[in-house]
Amino acid sequence: MTAVEVFAPAKVNLTLHVTGRRPDGYHELDSLVVFAEIGDRLEVTLSEHPALHVTGPMAKGVPEDDGNIVMRAMSLIGVNARIELHKYLPNAAGLGGGSSDAAAALRALSDLSGRALPGNLLALGADVPVCVVSRAARMRGVGEQVETLQDIPPLHAVLVNPNVAVPTGDVFSQLDSMSNAPMPRALPHLAHAGGFVAWLRGMRNDLQAPAIAAQPVIAQVLEALHVTSGCQLARMTGSGATCFGLYSDAETAASAAGRLREAFPGWWVAATRLNAVS
């Protein structure tokens, strides 16, 4: 086998608690991460020389050289390939798109070459270890502690990005506190979506407020989601600017997505399921 196609799902931080800052400047996190049914796709073919070609509706502005984490992933595992990356997720949007692309590339290159995945995944970024797992997980530390979770129910969601950039460094620099409470030591076993969403309301994304300060349109996105019929929770994911709304069923989520596309044609809007594979 010399070629394979792989899926790189969108990552959604249902919670993101910033719990400390290390002497080296890296932030300690406690985050509940799930993955969506939508994402990017990669076609990976072993070759003599590494190459990356980016296509798709969200390809504009995505680098094809070493500025792309996928190229750095190839270098890290030491396997050359020609990769066609079909971008469907907004770039630098808090959905872990680049990290998920790199993780998918690593899985594919490992399968094709027989080489083990690199041990130093954090060299590519804090989200790469959890994206390699690509399942519901609790992510702690600076991203190196990944605990997969079995009791997270599937969730119907709408993802919205207002097509603005939010530099992660700027968001972290505006945090009021670098040392906030983590999630409970033991997470509840809530197999039903209604109870789980009710529990999520008591959790946080500590980066939401500083991201809104950097890009006030994020507050408009959250309000637009909140007022859609059936929205149970609206929150930002990652460091922004993508936000998610949670709904009781696929029909309600699809209806909300349709209304948002009509009202805000300049925004990226997608209805999807989160954690559909337990």
Give the pLDDT confidence of 208-238 residue by residue, as tens digits. 999 999 999 999 999 999 999 999 999 999 9
Percent helix, percent strand, percent coil in the chain, to nearest 5: 30, 30, 40
- Domains defined along the chain, listed by start: 3-146 (3.30.230.10), 152-274 (3.30.70.890)
In the chain, DSSP finds a helix count (H) and a strand count (E) of 8, 10
127 is catalytic: yes
Question: Is residue 138 a contact partner of residue 147, using CB atoms and an 8 Å limit?
Answer: yes
Looking at the chain, the whole-number percentage of residues with pLDDT higher than 90 is 88
- In the set 11, 40, 87, 101, the catalytic residue is 11
Total Cβ atoms within 10 A of residue 91: 17
- In the set 24, 127, 170, 206, the catalytic residue is 127
The answer on pLDDT for 107 being more than 60 is yes
111 is catalytic: no
Could you give the CA distance from residue 86 to residue 59 in angstroms, rounded to a whole number? 7
CA 234 to chain centre: 16
Please report the pLDDT score of residue 277 as a whole number: 58
Q: What's the pTM?
A: 0.95
Closest among 36, 41, 35 to 135, alpha carbons compared: 35
The string of pLDDT tens digits covering residues 23-74 is 988 899 999 999 999 999 999 999 999 999 999 999 999 999 999 999 999 9
Please report the pLDDT score of residue 278 as a whole number: 41
